Amino acid sequence: MLFNDLIQQVFPVDPGRPAFVQLDGETVSYPEFARRCQCHAQALLDQGVQPAQRVALLGLNSITYMELFMAVPWMGAVLVPLNIRWSLKELQYAVEDAEITVLLVDDAFAKLAVQLREKCPRLSHLIYVGNGPCPEGMVHWAAHASTTSPLTTPAAVRPDTLAAIVYTGGTTGDPKGVMHTQASLMAAGVNLACLQAPAGEQVYLAAVPLFHTAGFGMAMGHLVQRGTLAIVPMFRPDLVQRAVRELGVTGIGLVPSMLGMVLDAPGFKAEDYRDLRGIYYGASPMPAGLLRRVMEAFPQARFTQVYGMTESGIAASLDDRFHRGPNAQTQAAGQVGPLYRMCIEDEQGNPQPPGVQGEVVIYGAGVMAGYLNKPEATRAAIGGGGMRTGDAGMMDANGVLTLMDRIKDMIITGGENVYSVEVESVISRHPAVSACAIIGVPDELYGERVHAVVVVREQHVLTLEALRSYCAEYISNYKCPRSLELREALPLSPMGKVQKNELRAPHWAGQAKRIN
């Protein structure tokens, strides 16, 4: 199956439950969703959009967002979902890099889109897809699309036809445009459906931004199973709580930091989540202390961790049986899905046996075609046929992957390797710690030292001596933090990942190592 086959084969079939529900009361069936996608595709053609042209989408989560996500590849153009948290300069970079001429924009970003057009002469068409009055200088999408006949025959595409360009976060330089084809997008969705992440019978809440692989990828995997997708405009603990209570949500996927925010929200009530049956998490490591809190708060839910990246889609999952009981391996990342193969390799690309550490390399139909306009980066990432993830890990005899750290985050202190994830998992269990990050900073004696950046809970006090004493009960002395920095909050990416490059930069100013 190709990406366009979703509309042609899956969506026209009514499974007897809605495809989408929203807090504003809108409910859309699968056949109606297919018709809307086809109408949007024809409207794009009527606006002069040509096959292979790049069309950007900037908006909050909505049913309309999902329709446009499907409609652009259906008529043969290339979708470029833009990061809603980016600055004007970052958006300008993507528009120019991808040679975007058409931008679909909703109410939340209409003013920003006008500023973007002033910066980008190539951006000639702004199409308003919001619900309010059409801003001056834009085409009003709703008035045009509502009178359009559906484009029932999709564009002629092949498995290797470019379908989307999805930009990475850009934490180590300019963002990279990840090129996904009709085949790779579909493979990622089918793999998640096979893993039942999320399970098809659940009403799954899409609270993670849909521009991100973890947002749209999980949504697509659910739609392949013809499940119901509940959508909120953005992640906010109160919106999550409302959706669970009012829309009958039984499955939810969030980044670990988002789960922590849900638990710490002022209005949190465990009884509002009593019908929650599936919790899916990923995109960054789950500290052991936070995972314990989440499992205690939702004892009725089954837990699944998912592992992947923008360049590959979600390739593996760690299901509930590895979260409790005799099989518990809560710090593992998962087992590979049926449409992928994962291998642990050394620097020369040689496979490593079980129990030996190396770099995680992902092979399979969901791996990207390459980075847009970056041939050298593409060769470095997938020159051997698989996606070199930059993650250090090892596989056990049962094919369970455990991640040690991001290779660039590993700390070498006095000749010893320290994995920040291991230290963070210990510190996260300290009763005074709300959030933490471990980084390597310069040290005259050891080259690098283990440095802890900690957010302390209200009405608690934490000293370096107390933290080292606590850590020494669980890990070796050389792994214990040698310095401590207290902050009110950690810098987070739009997906809730800790931006360690920002934490490291002041310490390595003027030095080449570990700034990124």
Provide the whole-model pTM. 0.87
Chain position carrying tokens 């793999």:
191
Does residue 229 belong to any structural domain of this protein? no
- pLDDT at 172 exceeding the cut of 70: no
CATH number at residue 116: 3.40.50.12780
Q: Are residues 243 and 169 in the same domain?
A: no
Does residue 232 belong to any structural domain of this protein? no
Q: Are residues 22 and 132 in the same domain?
A: yes
Domain final residue pick, 281, 300, 319: 300
Q: Are residues 294 and 349 in the same domain?
A: no
pLDDT confidence of 492, banded at 50, 70, 90? confident
Summarize pLDDT for 92-120 with one digit per residue, the tens: 999 999 999 999 999 999 999 999 999 99
User: CA gyration radius for the chain?
Assistant: 23
Q: Are residues 395 and 431 in the same domain?
A: no
Token output for 284: 């960054």
Q: Are residues 163 and 274 in the same domain?
A: no
Tabulate helix, strand, coil % of the chain (nearest 5). Answer: 30, 25, 45
Q: What is the mean pLDDT of residues 461-465?
A: 96
Q: What is the mean pLDDT of residues 473-484?
A: 93
Q: Poorest-confidence range of 55-64, 322-331, 387-396?
A: 322-331
CATH number at residue 459: 3.30.300.30
Q: Are residues 38 and 109 in the same domain?
A: yes
Summarize pLDDT for 251-274 with one digit per residue, the tens: 999 988 899 999 999 989 999 999
Q: What is the mean pLDDT of residues 41-67?
A: 95
Chain position carrying tokens 């092979």:
363
Environment class of 376 (CB within 10 Å of its CB; exposed 0-12, middle 13-18, buried 19+) = exposed
**DSSP state string for 244-284:** HHHS---EEEE-HHHHHHHHHSTT--GGGGTT--EEEEESS
- The whole domain housing 253 covers 238-300
Extended beta strands in 41-191, E state: 54-58, 78-81, 102-105, 125-128, 139-140, 162-167, 177-181
Does residue 220 belong to any structural domain of this protein? no
CATH number at residue 340: 2.30.38.10
Q: Are residues 293 and 313 in the same domain?
A: no
Q: What strand order describes the sheet that includes 302-309?
A: 27-28, 20-22, 228-231, 203-206, 251-254, 278-282, 302-309, 313-318, 335-336
- pLDDT at 11 exceeding the cut of 80: yes
* More confident of the two residues 131 and 342: 342
Q: What is the mean pLDDT of residues 426-434?
A: 94
Domain final residue pick, 409, 444, 459: 409
Does residue 510 belong to any structural domain of this protein? no
Determine the pLDDT at residue 146: 62
Q: Are residues 26 and 148 in the same domain?
A: yes
Determine the pLDDT at residue 287: 81
CATH number at residue 289: 3.40.50.12820
Give the count of domains, the chain.
4
Q: Are residues 324 and 420 in the same domain?
A: no
- pLDDT at 515 exceeding the cut of 50: no
Summarize pLDDT for 379-392 with one digit per residue, the tens: 999 988 999 999 99
Does residue 218 belong to any structural domain of this protein? no
Q: Poorest-confidence range of 3-17, 137-151, 272-286, 425-439?
A: 137-151
Contact (CB, 8 A) for 259 and 252: no
Q: Are residues 171 and 274 in the same domain?
A: no
Report the chain's mean pLDDT, rounded to a whole number.
Answer: 92
Contact (CB, 8 A) for 337 and 365: no
- How many helices (H) and strands (E) the chain has is answered by 15, 26
Q: Are residues 394 and 313 in the same domain?
A: yes
